[in-house]
Amino acid sequence: MSQLLKVKKLKTAFMSKEQSVQVVRGVSFGINKGEIVGIVGESGCGKSVTSLSIMRLLKGTSGHVQEGEVIFNGKNILEMSEREMRKVRGKEMSMIFQDPMTSLNPVLKIGRQLMQGIMLHLKLSKKEAERYAIEMLESVGIPRAESIMDEYPHQLSGGMNQRVMIAMAMSCKPELLIADEPTTALDVTIQAQILELMKDLRDKQDTTIMMITHDLGVVSEVCDRVIVMYAGKVVEEGPTKEVFENPQHPYTEGLIKSMPKIGLKQKRLYAIPGQVPDPMSMPRGCKFAARCPYVMDKCLENEPELLDVKETKQQSRCWLTEEKSKGGETVES
């Protein structure tokens, strides 16, 4: 399996009230061709910012990438000029967002919005672009695609709009599709349909998908591998099945525990005690220490590295792991 995307020690900061706050504090991971990788974490852990940093879509926010490399198809896209990046965006790499109702331009017809990217990247004529756009809408399962072209986003439901977004994102046949919480704003039944659609994209069109979500259910449905983020860093990584069955990091363990399970008679839902630390005043040592049931003195002093866990295909950022795999290689080298 060839590696399509490699993120190395990515650090992104935001300006807040004249203070610089690091929200992504050194994230590294890789995505192979044909995979569906899930990036999981609570809100504020930096997963969305990571994806925006990869796409270099931080304009308009007070965020900027401070350090790191993002190697896509062999090239470090962080070092590209904006012009070159625009050729990548929308064509080789594209993104869909959380709220389909606000992510589409309310005053432009759907057809027009679709055709913009098509004409830009694929250099088709208006007529050809129109036909192609209709094909795209049909391929994502939108009925009466031709009449939809003339409609406005507010005339469609959330689920339909999300399909439109997917059609838009897929229209130039990108190699990598980044999906930022694509189903969070949708009804459960529609969720399932969209997830099926994404699996389809991978199976039939060979699209690699990076799925950002806070919903472990989605991860278990669709993702081959899962990357768990906490407080701006990756804390666990591995094949979905194994991570679920045998979580290495206490945070992952807590997340899985707090998933409501049908059939299990639970009086109270489990919730990880405590709160996510404030990025403006992070504690020393491991950022999860305050909430961790296995906390040791060591944890309060130093932040652990992300290491391979012996005899598994997983990696974990925990002093417990280090104990288990003394002498293992760190991922960040």
Partner 1 sequence: MGSYIVKRILGLIPLLLAVSFVIFIFVHLIPGDPARMMAGRDATNEEVEALRVSLGLDKSLVEQYFVYMKGLLSGDLGHSLRSNVPVTELFSDRFLPSLQLSLMSIGWAIAMGIIMGVIAAVFRGKWPDYLSTFIAISGISVPNFWLGLVMIQIFAVGFGWFPAGGIETWKSYIMPSFALGAGIMAMITRFTRSSLVQTLQEDFIRTARSRGLNEKSVIFGHALKKSIITVLTIAGLQFGYLLGGSVVVEAVFSFPGMGRLLIDSIQFRDYPVVQSLLLIFSLQFILVNLVVDILYGIFNPKIRYN
Q: In the structure encoding, which two tokens stand for residue 246, read together?
A: 């045998």
Q: For residues 117 and 247, which CB has a smaller minimum distance to partner 1 in the complex?
A: 117
Binding residues for partner 1 (CB under 8 A): 55, 57, 59-60, 86-91, 94-95, 97, 99, 102-108, 116-117, 120-121, 152, 154-155, 165, 168-169
Any idea what the Cα angle at residue 47 is, between residues 42 and 48, rounded to 5°?
A: 110
User: Least distance from C-beta 323 to partner 1, angstroms?
Assistant: 43
Q: In the structure encoding, which two tokens stand for residue 316, read together?
A: 């974990």
**Smallest Cα–Cα separation from 11: which of 28, 29, 24, 30?**
24
User: Least distance from C-beta 198 to partner 1, angstroms?
Assistant: 17
Q: For residues 29 and 97, which CB has a smaller minimum distance to partner 1 in the complex?
A: 97
Q: Is the dihedral of CA 136, 141, 146, 152 positive or negative?
A: negative
Q: For residues 91 and 298, which CB has a smaller minimum distance to partner 1 in the complex?
A: 91
Q: For residues 105 and 246, which CB has a smaller minimum distance to partner 1 in the complex?
A: 105
Q: For residues 24 and 178, which CB has a smaller minimum distance to partner 1 in the complex?
A: 178
User: Least distance from C-beta 44 to partner 1, angstroms?
Assistant: 19
User: Least distance from C-beta 152 to partner 1, angstroms?
Assistant: 5
Q: Is the dihedral of CA 232, 213, 220, 264 positive or negative?
A: positive
CA-CA distance, 254 to 249, in Å (whole number)?
Answer: 9
User: Least distance from C-beta 219 to partner 1, angstroms?
Assistant: 23
Rg (CA), the chain: 21
Q: Tokens 């009804």, residue?
A: 187
